[in-house]
Amino acid sequence: MKLFILLLVPFLWAQSPDPYVILDRVDQNMLSTTKILEGKMIVYGKRNTRTITFRSYSEGIDKSFTEYLSPAREAGTKMLKLKDNLWIYSPAADRTIQISGHMLKQSVMGSDMSYEDMMEDRKLKDVYYATVKGEETVDGHACWILELNAKVKEVAYEKMKIWVDQQRYVPLREELYAKSGQLLKRAVFSDVQRFGSRWYPTKINYRDVLKKGKGTDFIVTRLKLDVIIDPYMFTKAALRR
Amino acid sequence: MILVWKLAYKNLIRAGLKTWLNALALSFAFVLIIFYNGMIDGWNMEARQDAVEWDYGYGHLRNAGYDPADPFSIQDGHGILPEPFRKDLTPVLVWQGTIYPQGRMMPVLIKGIEVNQETVKIPSEILKTSTAGYPVLLGRKMAESAGLKKGDPVLLRWRDKNGTFDAVEATVVGIFETNVPFVDGGQLWMSLKTLQEMTGLHDEASFYIANEAYVPEPIDGWTFIDQETLLKPVTDLINAKKYGAAIMYLLLLAIGLLVIFDTQAFAIFRRQKEIGTHIAMGMTKGEVIRMFTAEGAMYSIFAIVLGGLYGTPLFIYLAKNGISFPVSGDTMGIIIAPTIYSVYSAALIVKTFLLLVISATLVSLLATRKIATMNPVEALKGKAL
């Protein structure tokens, strides 16, 4: 009898996995102590497409420093995020400005992502109740569909849906909803690659679904995880360097 | 003195066409000054009236944290005004949102207004009678830029007081015509109660519009801005235009005065024998100077009469029918009606009259100063100059 129960446990877990365990596994996979990422952001506009390359350094979820490398118009622009604060350095004006209030609603370099979206850095399980709503295959990978409903008031999206790859614990799709249930934004993660012991999606398409267009692609061209980053990088002085 | 004026008058009339040409040149300046200032005054009067009727009412009672010129203040610039202080006030809650007309993203300022209000001309009663879920009103300019018309649905997205996104399909239930850009461009009007529910800011407002009966009193956390202070930027802007354009008509006036100066300077050279004769017959040099100066001053009187003859019908026409502008002022962010009706005040006419007479007299005096240095004998011979 005991043997039967022991054999049944993994089967039951497979049938109804703990959503918080899944979120933990996703965090373990996606979050690293430090990260240096080089990539490009492709902004699909109505008339033209812009490609912006950048290099980003981050430590945990509180600290990040991004430098835009091209095109010439954006080259040298730097962005520093320390917890709830965001500063931008513009080389043309040689000034550092803090992005706050109304300005946080503006898009980052004309993309579908706002500064506010960038600022959201709390762990999902801290702000959402999670339930597994079912399973679905995305790009040939079996996924759990996790539905997240806000458990705190101060949250940008009342509801989220995440499709998590059952094998690699990587999100493959994400949908963000308004309080009314209206779908607002959709992120599609693809080109999942292995970096050491982790799986990481190297292409993300982020789209404001209320707006016409193909959204914005974030493509990772180089990724280094758990490397030593000079603490100076996460200071305001580094913006003018 | 009367003799001086009589002689001056006779001299001018005897000069015939030359006098009337000089007077005509000066009359253009006279008519243009009155025309332009009348138009600016008419614009000013209409703009002030429109601003009061559509937005300012008899003053704004603002939440201390709210500054309409600072979008950063919208997030926190609202509060609950204690009930006893709400008499004769219309509440307005301002919030930020985004609309998506035809898949385009447009940031908007959502303004929630009490639907039963009669203080300003925003047609809020339409919101009361509408059966649509989220009825909204747009100004004509906003409707045009968003490509929306009455009855159109539009997706509206905003964040509540906690920062959580919400979105609904709103319905445009009315489009109003206004000359006031700051209640139109980039704005969307809806019921105050609906906006309060949408944002979770129950009973709160960003500012209140006072009606005629409102008596201001100090309220903690709220600041009353009276009508005149609110109107100051409108008046300042129009006055700036007024002074800027003054260059144009002052230039014309300068041309008119130059004509008088030239005429008088030439007259002294040509009429040396006459000047000598007047002095020989007992007139003092001062009296001769006064006579010539009076001639110059009389040019301005003739110019006013002449300008009055052809200008009066024009002014009456413009006051009745106005001047229409092909480009609406609201695209420039200023209050300007499609048709401006000129307003001519007695002060304007008196001021212009005095400006013309005094300047013509002074110019004439400048030209005739040489008489003081003339030798009467040489003048009689016509060789004084």
Judge whether A39 lies within some domain.
Answer: yes
Q: Which one is predicted more confidently, B380 or B309?
A: B309
User: Which of the two residues, B292 and B210, has the higher pLDDT score?
Assistant: B210
Reading the block at residue B161, the tokens are 């007081």
The string of pLDDT tens digits covering residues B75-115 is 889 999 999 999 999 999 999 999 999 888 898 999 999 99
Max avg pLDDT among A57-61, A90-94, A137-141:
A137-141
Q: What pLDDT digit, counting tens, does each position of B329-347 carry? A: 555 667 777 788 888 888 8
**The pLDDT of residue A39 is above 90:** yes
State the pLDDT confidence band at A98, using cuts at 50, 70 and 90: confident
Name the band, by pLDDT with cuts 50, 70 and 90, for residue B123: very high
pLDDT for the residue numbered A20 = 93
pLDDT at A2 over 50: no
State the alpha helices, DSSP H only, in chain B.
2-15, 17-51, 125-129, 140-146, 192-199, 227-270, 272-280, 285-321, 346-368, 376-381
- Residue A155, Cβ density class (10 Å: 0-12 exposed, 13-18 middle, ≥19 buried): buried
Compute the nearest-CA separation of A177 from chain B (Å): 8
Segment B16-48, tens digit of pLDDT: 888 888 888 888 888 888 888 888 888 888 889
Return the residue in A99, A182, A214 with the most chain B beta carbons within 10 A, the one to mutate for interface testing: A182
Q: How many domains does chain A have?
A: 1
Question: Long-range contact list for B73-80, CB < 8 A, 24+ apart?
Answer: B74/A102, B74/B109, B74/B206, B75/A101, B75/A102, B77/B206, B78/B201, B78/B204, B78/B205, B78/B206, B79/B204, B79/B205, B79/B221, B79/B222, B80/B203, B80/B204, B80/B205
pLDDT at site B331: 57
CB distance A120 to A156 below 8 Å: yes
**pLDDT score for A192:** 94
| Chain A touched by B72 (CB under 8 Å) | yes
In chain A, % of residues over pLDDT 90: 55
- Rounded to whole angstroms, the Cα distance separating B145 from B109 reads 14
Containing A25, the helix (H) or strand (E) segment is helix A19-30
Q: Are A227 and A34 in contact (CB under 8 A)?
A: yes
* Radius of gyration, CA atoms only, chain A: 19
pLDDT at B145: 92
Residue matched to tokens 């002294």:
B268
Q: What is the pLDDT of residue A1?
A: 44
| B71 at A interface, C-beta within 8 A | yes
CB–CB contact B165 A102 (8 Å)? no
Interface mutation vs chain A, best among B95, B96, B165, B194, most A CBs within 10 Å = B165
Please state, in angstroms and as integers, the Cα–Cα distance from residue B79 to each residue in B65, B91, B93, B170, B220, following that order: 9, 11, 9, 25, 11
| Mean pLDDT value across residues B304-326 | 87
Quick check: B166 and A178 CB within 8 A? yes
Tell me: pLDDT of B355 over 50. yes
Cis peptide preceding A71, ω within 30 of 0: yes
Calculate the average pLDDT of chain B.
Answer: 87
Q: Which residue has the tokens 């995880």?
A: A225
List residues bridging with A57 in a β-sheet.
A36, A65
Vertex B175, ends B172 and B179: CA angle to 5°?
145
Q: Which of A101, A154, A156 sits opposite B72 (nearest CB)?
A: A101
**Tens of pLDDT, residues B53-71:** 999 999 999 999 999 988 8
Alpha carbon of B55 to those of B143, B205, B339, B346: distances in Å?
19, 15, 20, 30
Contact B139, B123 (CB under 8 A): no
Query: Which of A192-201, B192-201, B371-380 has the lowest average pLDDT?
Result: B371-380
Mean pLDDT value across residues A38-43: 93
Tens-digit pLDDT profile for residues A162-179: 999 999 999 999 999 999
**Taking CB atoms and an 8 Å limit, are B75 and A212 in contact across chains?**
no
CATH of residue A181: 2.50.20.10
Across chain A, which distance is largest between two alpha carbons, in Å?
A: 75
Query: Does A184 sit within 8 Å of B165, measured CB to CB?
Result: yes
Q: Is the pLDDT of residue A59 over 70?
A: yes
Type and span of the H or E element at B385: none
Can you give the residue ranges of every domain in chain B?
Answer: 2-52+232-381, 59-213
Q: How far is B183 from chain A (nearest CA, A)?
A: 20
Structural domain for A204, as ranges: 18-240
Q: Is residue A12 included in any domain, yes or no?
A: no
Distance CA B352, CA B198 (A): 57
Q: How confident is the model at residue A125 (pLDDT cuts 50, 70, 90)?
A: confident
Residues of A in contact with B100 (CB under 8 A): 210-211
Which among B72, B74, B157 has the least Cβ separation from residue A178? B157
- pLDDT single digits (tens) A8-27: 444 444 556 899 999 999 98
* Structure-model confidence comparison of residues A154 and A234, the more confident one: A234
| pLDDT value of residue B264 | 79
pLDDT for B326 equals 67
pLDDT digits (tens, 9 = 90+) for B284-298: 888 888 888 888 888
- What pLDDT, on the 0 to 100 scale, is given for residue A241? 77
The ipTM is 0.81
A141-163, pLDDT tens digit by residue? 999 999 999 999 888 899 999 99
Helix or strand (DSSP H, E) at B326:
none
- Asked if A101's CB is within 8 angstroms of B75's CB, the reply is yes
**Maximum C-alpha span of chain B:** 100
- What pLDDT sits at residue A165? 96
Check A211 against B164: CB less than 8 A apart.
Answer: no
In chain B, pLDDT over 70 holds for what percent of residues?
A: 97
Q: What is the mean pLDDT of residues B138-156?
A: 94
Nearest C-alpha neighbor of B192 from the set B181, B178, B173, B206: B206
Residue range B190-203: mean pLDDT, rounded:
96
Which residue shows structure tokens 């979008």? B71
Tell me phi and psi for residue B265, to 5 degrees. Answer: -60, -40
pLDDT one-digit tens code per residue, A179-201: 999 999 999 999 999 988 889 99
What's the average model confidence in pLDDT over B137-164?
A: 93
